Amino acid sequence: MRPKSAAHPVEVRLDPVDNRRLARLCGALDENLRQIETALDVEIARRGARFSVRGEQATRAARTIEHFYALATDELSIDDVQLGLAEIGRRDFPARDERKSQLLTRRPDLHGRTPQQVKYIDSILAHDITIGVGPAGTGKTFLAVAMAAAALAERQVQRVILTRPAVEAGERLGFLPGDIQAKVDPYLRPLFDALFDMLDPDRVNGYFERGVIEVAPLAFMRGRTLNDSFVILDEAQNTSPEQMKMFLTRLGFNSRMVVTGDVTQIDLPSDQRSGLVVVHDILSSVQDISFVRFGGEDVVRHKLVQRIVAAYGEHAERQSAPASDG
């Protein structure tokens, strides 16, 4: 353990003491406390429900301990702690009565964790079509699926349709083994995973059986009109401009569409334009279509993901910068 400031420690005493909440706060072998120490560069000593915190950010760490204790009425995983620390780092401590974006899923803690995520959720609520563009880990797909699940639970729509282009570097559907369902499963697995994280698995399976939730490749959307639906197009950077137009014109009455993608991860041939790249120029002035752009500061996965996104962004800027004369 590296030495911390020799200043007087900040004392925290949790009262009244709930031993189950205390155990959730600390984590197995005090793993959650170690995460707080690392994030805020402090040293935490614990004796029962009393904590002694040393370091320049000892007061902030003490408030963080109290904050997580208040949240520990349910399980508090290491991921919850890391995401919570990232949120606190950006916005300090959210007010307990802060609006949580109306996401009625089995994840009660699910809400926008950055200003752009809050804007994204508000945009989906306010517009018929929302296009979210940004790097991996910014919650584009996850929050869109959460909004779809909430809309279905509130009976705002009759069905949810999730789609993505079946494009993968080096592979094509015809060369993958199995029937059509087996062929498309690898492409659609992230959407399945998000759904099962939002809703009870038995309910999801029932929705699939009744056709209330449909997951299909983008090619299956051609010729359809999607009424009373919440429709999500994921990985839209791998659409052509023609496919993007085809998808957006499927919008029916009482329906909502969300398009997500990352223009830095295009798997199309180098001579083919991405529909996600050109759609802003074409539709930016069209009423009731909203564009939300995410940056590296919106990454809410493991803290290393944010650093990786930033490093790749810096590398891309260096590659695109004109060479200096010399």
Domains of the chain: 10-91 (3.30.1370), 115-319 (3.40.50.300)
More confident residue, 99 or 115: 115
Whole-angstrom distance, CA of residue 77 vs CA of residue 83: 10
Task: List Cβ neighbours of 73 (8 Å cut-off, separation of 6 or more).
Answer: 21
Whole-angstrom distance, CA of residue 194 vs CA of residue 198: 6
* Contact between residue 16 and residue 67 where contact means Cβ atoms under 8 Å apart: no
**Phi/psi at 252 (nearest 5 deg)?**
-110, -170
Residue 193 has pLDDT above 50, yes or no: yes
Residue 70 has pLDDT above 70, yes or no: yes
How big is the chain by its Cα radius of gyration, in Å? Answer: 23
DSSP string, 223-250: T--B-SEEEEE-SGGGS-HHHHHHHHTT
Phi-psi region of 205 (alpha: psi -120 to 50; beta: other; left: phi over 0): alpha
Whole-angstrom distance, CA of residue 252 vs CA of residue 173: 29
Residue 100 has pLDDT above 50, yes or no: no
Q: Among 6, 112, 126, 124, which Cα is nearest to 58's?
A: 6
* Contact between residue 279 and residue 240 where contact means Cβ atoms under 8 Å apart: no
Provide the 3-class DSSP secondary structure of residue 1. coil
Q: What is the pLDDT of residue 247?
A: 95
> Tell me, what amino acid is at 172?
R
* Buried b / exposed e along 261-278 (16+ C-beta atoms within 10 A): bbeeebebeeeeebbbbe
Phi-psi region of 30 (alpha: psi -120 to 50; beta: other; left: phi over 0): left
Q: What is the pLDDT of residue 104?
A: 45
Cα separation values, 311 from 81, 89, 231, 293, Å: 24, 20, 33, 19
Q: What is the pLDDT of residue 183?
A: 53
Answer whether the bond into residue 16 is a cis peptide, omega within 30°. Answer: yes
* Mean pLDDT value across residues 78-106: 57
H or E segment to which residue 185 belongs: helix 180-198
Crossing angle between the packed helical segments 19-26 and 58-71, to the nearest 10 degrees: 120
Over the stretch 151-171, which tens digit does the pLDDT of each residue have? 888 889 999 999 988 765 334
The one-character DSSP state at 261 is E
pTM value is 0.64
Which residues face 251 on adjacent strands? Answer: 226
Residue 21 has pLDDT above 70, yes or no: yes
Q: What is the pLDDT of residue 106?
A: 46
Q: What is the pLDDT of residue 295?
A: 85
Tally of residues, the chain: 326
Q: What is the pLDDT of residue 53?
A: 92
* Interstrand relation of 50-54 and 129-133 (parallel, antiparallel or unpaired): unpaired
Helix, strand and coil in the chain, % to nearest 5:
45, 15, 40
Over the stretch 232-289, which tens digit does the pLDDT of each residue have? 999 999 999 999 999 999 999 999 999 999 998 888 888 889 999 999 999 988 988 9
To the nearest whole number, what is the mean pLDDT of the chain?
80
Task: List Cβ neighbours of 139 (8 Å cut-off, separation of 6 or more).
Answer: 112, 113, 117, 120, 294, 298, 300
Whole-angstrom distance, CA of residue 198 vs CA of residue 201: 9
* Most confident among 60-69, 206-215, 240-249 (mean pLDDT): 240-249
Over the stretch 280-291, which tens digit does the pLDDT of each residue have? 999 988 988 999
Q: Among 164, 132, 166, 165, which Cα is nearest to 147's?
A: 132
